Chain A
Amino acid sequence: MRRLTLGVSALALAATLGGTAAFADEDDVTAWRLFVSDHAEPVVKVIDALDGDLLDTFKIEGPATLHRTSSGETVFAVQGAAGEVHAIKSGIAFHDHGDHGDIDVDDAELLHVHIDGTKPAHFVELQGNIAQWFDGEDEVRVFSEKSILDEKLDVRKANVVAPHHGVAVPYQNHAVVTIPNPEDASKRPIGARVVDFNGNKVGEDLACPGLHGSAGSGSIYALACDTGLLLIKQDGGAPVIEHLPYASSLPEDSSSTLIGGKGLQYFIGNYGADRIVVVAPSEGENGFQLVQLPTRRVHFAVDPIRAKFAYVITEDGQLHKIDVLAGKIAASLKVTDPYSMDGHWSDPRPRIAVAGDNVIVTDPLNGKLHLINAETFQESGEIAVEGKPFNIVAVGGTGKVHEHEGEQGHDHAHAHDHGDDQIYKGYFEDAQVKDRALSDWAGDWQSVYPLLQDGTLDPVMAHKAEDGKQSADEYKAYYEVGYKTDVERMTIDGDIVTFFKDGKPLKARYASDGHEILTYEKGNRGVRFIFKKVEGDADAPEYFQFSDHKIAPGKADHYHLYWGNDRAALLKEVTNWPTYYPSSLRAKEIVEEMIAH
């Protein structure tokens, strides 16, 4: 279904459109997904942005406007006409570890929870809290992204006086809501106020007539109106609203739609049909820069990766790269046929999203997405999409991947210090596997089996049960089989390994006997590093095999161990994997480490 534009270097294309999980460098996995709605049909398509494959088509109730959360774990399909809001789990999740982020890639999933009401419209997400506005209701609904992902929707409501086309910004115990026009609620709101979820107003109303349009940038959320921007900040308790008037140097006009910078704190608003204004709130009156466009604006989006750029598509079909610092158009490229802004506001017209190296532009009347390389600003490919692809959001990024599935798919927790562990759920190249010396496991190690037995690990099991796949008791039973051992302690010092079995030491010298790569039923793989007895106590095992989620030299932070006298038989053992953590760790620290991931 993918057609490539000829004329661009085939190699560059191969690099751009590499595959579902392209290895940017040896440790990194990059995944980007596009969620595309149709102008007329009730569907959301999930497309792999890297190879153009259609991954899923979700049927919903009506044509949707799409929103993604800042985590990217959830995409919301707001179906104004159908009175329905659906949530889609994007299947891409990141976990920050400071020196690197981990990426988890699973199938996208249309979640069972949905929110129905009269005329759902503006959607705002801030730090995992979501405010879904309904133009036909006098209450805004606020809930957490977590409650959506857990499919245990817990909605709080805040009063907005009368149904109107407004917006709410959610905070921990408050929401900022628009104030309807008291003479005619069908007109634009006249300002904003802070309310809590018990029907109380907090502080004074702030006037901001003709309010429409909102966006967040870092800790500031902004609402646009006729006189300037309302800037909302939270400092400890309730949010605080300030009014930032448009600079006196600007021509008479106002913004009614905003986008907010990622990585740099700025906002961009429309300012008349063929101009945009870049706002740096920290610079006050001096923080406004007007950018003239060649024709009327159709849509705009910020670049979340190359922080100083944003993109605007205009009705002549040109995409413009805006240098936010300079307040100038840095480059322009003709991408689509003209889409006139004459006609109905909701006619099908292009929309923009940024996915990794590419800016993606929907071209609804030609049934395709255009991919434009953000650096070279040349078209790098296109993806055909049936129907009228309209709204689009992109989710993804680059992260490290780990063998989370562990042996035979047990959901394994591991320490924060991943070292050079880079295996993607057990998918790796044979060439990446390197033999390892016993010194990788040097130290004094304790079995975690006693901690499982005495209940110390119960909080870990409870934490695992939060995924809803198994109960804490079921997990505990599973680990009971996995962890079970009578070797409560091990020391590894040079080539001397001591097993403490019921308190008695069994000591022997061991030498490397290579490694074996195992393929599990699920198709993922693991590596066993094997050591063979050279001399020592007769009862010490002839062989033992480490599995610690690493495939090349690196210090183990914990390991699973298999031992016995039959090398081949051990390779088949996949249900019992006695597990060891450093003896220096206190029980509490082990619990923390297991939960931490």
Chain B
Amino acid sequence: MTKLNRLAASLIAITFAGFMPPAQAETDKLSVVASFSIIGDFAKQVGGDRIELRTLVGPDSDAHVYEPKPADAIALARADVVLVNGLLFEGFLQRLVEASGTSATIATLTEGADILHDPNGGHYHYSGGQAIFHAAPNDPHAWQSVANAKVYVQNIARAFCEADKNGCLTYEANAATYVGELADLDVEVKQAIDAIPAERRVAVVAHNAFRYFERDYGMTFLSPQGVSTESEASAADVASLIREIREKRAAAVFAENIADARLVEQIASEAGLTLGGTLYSDALSPEDGPSPTYVDLMRHNVNTLGKAINGG
């Protein structure tokens, strides 16, 4: 280690005095940082009370526009394990890792998952009335497939075992129990979607985060494409989506918890459809919301789809 690095390391060590409230002082638990709320839930399921967890991008928040805080860098510096989605989902991560100088293991949870290449090279987010293109050659929203979620969980168990050998049996047992729950959930989602008549399984969303759901469960999701990144969805772009909605006879339009609903409201009104509710795409809800855990999230989405489509 160079002199400068040593100096930097010792400086990180004293940073508690600065930004961290004393209540969060170090414990003998495994210190885990999860990049966003869904991974945070997986970490809780596997780690239980053996871990001390900090989740960076919280409930109802969009990781794509997240701006890391100095306290995040300090948390990363202290962490034993950092859990990330990968596939360019966390655009802020690399600089944060560099800023923190962390020596923690960084576990990429989509490793080994069944990943979809994105033919469009990315997808759009709608934030503050603006379309922002999120370029990613592979679709990062892999957790929308429950089969992939199982891979996330197994990757977490492996990362925890490596960092905390004494807890390994506990982590593996917790993961096995949870993977069992996920297997049931997978069946439940499939059955719920199968119960929707095949020709009605077309929904409209603003941000195409559901391609894995589409692949695994046979729903179709339409979303605006080719919207300029510099302006709101232009009239022409929306018009072509409206045509597609009519051709494919989409049943309902859905808002998303991480985005404002103005764009989908515009689409719904032009297509003569009603808003069918809110789907949870890239984040859980707060504790008192409908989707505080991943299992709740998938159930909520399936129920919302089913109700809006069958009811309408």
Chain B residues within 8 Å of A127, by CB = 130
In the bound complex, do residue B260 and residue A236 qualify as a contact, i.e. CB atoms below 8 Å apart? Answer: yes
CA A538 to CA B135, docked complex, whole Å: 46
B4 within 8 A of A: yes
In the bound complex, do residue A280 and residue B122 qualify as a contact, i.e. CB atoms below 8 Å apart? Answer: no
CA A289 to CA B74, docked complex, whole Å: 15
In the bound complex, do residue A307 and residue B7 qualify as a contact, i.e. CB atoms below 8 Å apart? Answer: no
Chain A residues within 8 Å of B112, by CB = none
In the bound complex, do residue B70 and residue A325 qualify as a contact, i.e. CB atoms below 8 Å apart? Answer: yes
Question: Contacts A264-B99, A286-B19, A306-B98 given: A596-B69 contact, CB under 8 Å?
Answer: no
Complex A-B: 17 CB contacts under 8 Å: A98-B88, A98-B121, A146-B230, A236-B262, A264-B73, A264-B99, A265-B67, A265-B70, A280-B19, A286-B19, A308-B99, A325-B100, A326-B15, A416-B121, A416-B135, A588-B226, A592-B225
Identify A96's interface contact among B73, B135, B230, CB under 8 A: B135
Chain A residues within 8 Å of B130, by CB = 127, 172
A266 within 8 A of B: yes
B116 within 8 A of A: no
In the bound complex, do residue B68 and residue A265 qualify as a contact, i.e. CB atoms below 8 Å apart? Answer: yes
In the bound complex, do residue B99 and residue A330 qualify as a contact, i.e. CB atoms below 8 Å apart? Answer: no
Chain A residues within 8 Å of B262, by CB = 236
CA A146 to CA B96, docked complex, whole Å: 30
CA A428 to CA B38, docked complex, whole Å: 44
Total interface residues in chain B, CB < 8 Å: 45
In the bound complex, do residue A324 and residue B70 qualify as a contact, i.e. CB atoms below 8 Å apart? Answer: yes
Identify B120's interface contact among A172, A416, A591, CB under 8 A: A416
The minimal Cβ–Cβ distance linking B63 to chain A, given in whole angstroms, is 13
B12 within 8 A of A: yes
Q: Of B14, B135, B136, B260, which is in contact with the most chain A CB atoms at under 10 Å from its CB?
A: B135
The minimal Cβ–Cβ distance linking A595 to chain B, given in whole angstroms, is 7
Question: Contacts A283-B19, A323-B11, A330-B8 given: A172-B135 contact, CB under 8 Å?
Answer: no
Question: Contacts A326-B14, A377-B4, A416-B120 given: A307-B99 contact, CB under 8 Å?
Answer: yes
In the bound complex, do residue B11 and residue A325 qualify as a contact, i.e. CB atoms below 8 Å apart? Answer: yes
Question: In which size bucket is the chain A interface?
Answer: 35 or more
In the bound complex, do residue B128 and residue A236 qualify as a contact, i.e. CB atoms below 8 Å apart? Answer: yes
Count of A-B residue pairs with CB < 8 Å:
132
B71 within 8 A of A: yes
Chain A residues within 8 Å of B122, by CB = 97-98, 416
A234 within 8 A of B: yes
CA A306 to CA B70, docked complex, whole Å: 13
Question: Contacts A219-B65, A263-B95 given: A99-B137 contact, CB under 8 Å?
Answer: yes
In the bound complex, do residue A98 and residue B135 qualify as a contact, i.e. CB atoms below 8 Å apart? Answer: yes
The minimal Cβ–Cβ distance linking B266 to chain A, given in whole angstroms, is 14
Contact flags (1/0) for B1-41 with A, using CB distance below 8 Å?
00010011001101100110100000000000000000000
Q: Of B14, B18, B73, B122, which is in contact with the most chain A CB atoms at under 10 Å from its CB?
A: B18
CA A591 to CA B237, docked complex, whole Å: 13
Contact flags (1/0) for B102-128 with A, using CB distance below 8 Å?
000000000000000001111000001
A282 within 8 A of B: yes
Q: Please give me the 9 A-B residue pairs with the lowest Cβ-Cβ distance, nearest first.
A: A416-B121, A98-B135, A218-B67, A326-B11, A307-B99, A263-B95, A308-B99, A98-B136, A282-B69
Chain A residues within 8 Å of B121, by CB = 97-98, 415-417, 596
Chain A residues within 8 Å of B72, by CB = 264
B50 within 8 A of A: no
